[in-house]
């Protein structure tokens, strides 16, 4: 199984060995771990060096644009250069969060779109309440190396517009919570060959029935364990009316379509199980 978007360094700020052991026991073999600002890129890199399951992504999240260092683009290029298999993420636009000026977000986002294009790296994109602006930015960008709209919560009316750009859409266990039926119904309009699954751990806590391993709360908030991804694979399979094994194969194919588009050969030597079936 593949977790296409999470923040492993935030799940386990100390030793990640116990968490990695749990995901290995659950046959989760790939963890796309996203940084959100220059201050956590070293932590993401360290996990990628220590654990072969970890694919690192480096990016500036729209919530982190305030006070960012002037040399952030240079540092981003250095991290992406050190890890040829890495992606650009988590990046994007957000008009829900207050105190983060939309024009600054857009400037930093567009700079990262350019970096991803230049280095042929896939993107993992966040968006809240800025879907029109996001579409304009993506329409003008080069997305030929792949683009994921993670935890897509946009309007159903824009699904075709985004899909025509070649993007992929991921959903998390959170979408199976009571009261989130409308978000799940949007995915009925998204072609199945563009679906991906994510834990977004430690965030996007799924329904109680999805929780396979409990972690202590952090700052009064529950912590989502990456192993809960298994329950999402099972729930997605039931929702789609297919066997879990078929879901695993579908997600491998779709992941290859997103993350391998730039240069498939770079990945298969390290992740041979990800060969599309």
List b or e across 93-125, with b for residues whose CB sees 16 or more CB atoms inside 10 angstroms: bbeeeeebeeeebbebbeebbebbbebebbbbb
Q: What secondary structure does DSSP assign to 223-249, as a single string? A: ---GGGHHHHHHHHHHHHTS-HHHHHH
Q: Which residue(s) pair with 197 in the sheet?
A: 171
Question: Which of 193, 271, 199 is CA-nearest to residue 228?
Answer: 199
User: Which pair of structure tokens corresponds to residue 272?
Assistant: 């041979």
Domain with residue 53: its CATH number is: 3.20.20.140
- Length, in residues, of the chain: 277
pLDDT of residue 277: 43
- What's the total number of domains in the chain? 1
User: Which residue is listed with tokens 């030793």?
Assistant: 15
Taking every pair of Cα atoms in the chain, the longest distance, rounded to a whole number of angstroms, is 50
What per-residue confidence (pLDDT) applies to 100? 80
CA distance 33 to 128: 20
What's residue 82's pLDDT?
97
**Residue that the structure tokens 């997103």 belong to:** 258
- Residue 127's domain comprises 2-274
Q: Would you call 184 helix, strand, or coil by DSSP?
A: helix
Question: Which pTM was predicted?
Answer: 0.95
Per-residue pLDDT of the chain (277 residues; tens, 9 = 90+): 999 999 999 998 778 999 999 999 999 999 999 999 999 999 999 999 999 999 999 999 999 999 899 999 999 999 999 999 999 999 999 999 988 899 999 999 999 999 999 999 999 999 999 999 999 999 999 999 999 999 999 999 999 999 999 999 999 999 999 999 999 999 999 999 999 999 999 999 999 999 999 998 888 889 999 999 999 999 999 999 999 999 999 999 999 999 987 556 666 666 666 654 4
CA distances from 106 to 46, 89, 99 (A): 29, 15, 14
Using left for φ > 0, alpha for ψ between -120 and 50, and beta otherwise, residue 128 falls in: beta
Distance CA 176, CA 172 (A): 8
Residue with tokens 């399951």: 53
């Amino acid at each position: 199984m593949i977790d296409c978007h999470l923040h492993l360094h935030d799940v386990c700020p100390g030793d990640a060995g116990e968490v990695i052991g749990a995901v290995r026991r659950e046959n989760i073999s790939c963890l796309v771990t996203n940084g959100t600002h220059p201050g956590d890129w070293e932590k993401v890199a360290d996990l990628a060096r220590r654990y072969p399951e970890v694919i690192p992504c480096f990016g500036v999240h729209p919530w982190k644009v305030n006070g960012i260092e002037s040399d952030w683009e240079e540092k981003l290029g250095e991290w992406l250069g050190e890890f040829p298999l890495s992606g650009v993420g988590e990046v994007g636009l957000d008009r829900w969060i207050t105190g983060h000026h939309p024009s600054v977000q857009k400037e930093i986002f567009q700079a990262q779109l350019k970096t991803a294009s230049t280095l042929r790296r896939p993107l993992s994109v966040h968006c809240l309440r800025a879907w029109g602006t996001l579409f304009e930015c993506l329409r003008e960008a080069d997305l030929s190396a792949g683009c994921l709209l993670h935890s897509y919560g946009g309007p159903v009316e824009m699904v075709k517009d985004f899909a025509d750009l070649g993007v992929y859409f991921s959903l998390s266990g959170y979408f199976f919570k009571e009261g989130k039926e409308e978000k799940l119904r949007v995915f009925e309009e998204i072609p199945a060959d563009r679906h991906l699954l994510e834990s977004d751990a430690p965030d996007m806590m799924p329904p109680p029935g999805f929780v396979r391993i409990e972690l202590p709360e952090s700052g009064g908030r529950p912590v989502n364990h990456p192993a809960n991804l298994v329950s999402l694979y099972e729930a997605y399979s039931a929702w789609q009316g297919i066997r879990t094994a078929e879901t695993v194969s579908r997600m491998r194919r779709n992941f290859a379509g997103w993350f391998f588009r730039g240069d498939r050969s770079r990945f298969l030597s390290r992740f041979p199980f990800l060969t599309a079936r």
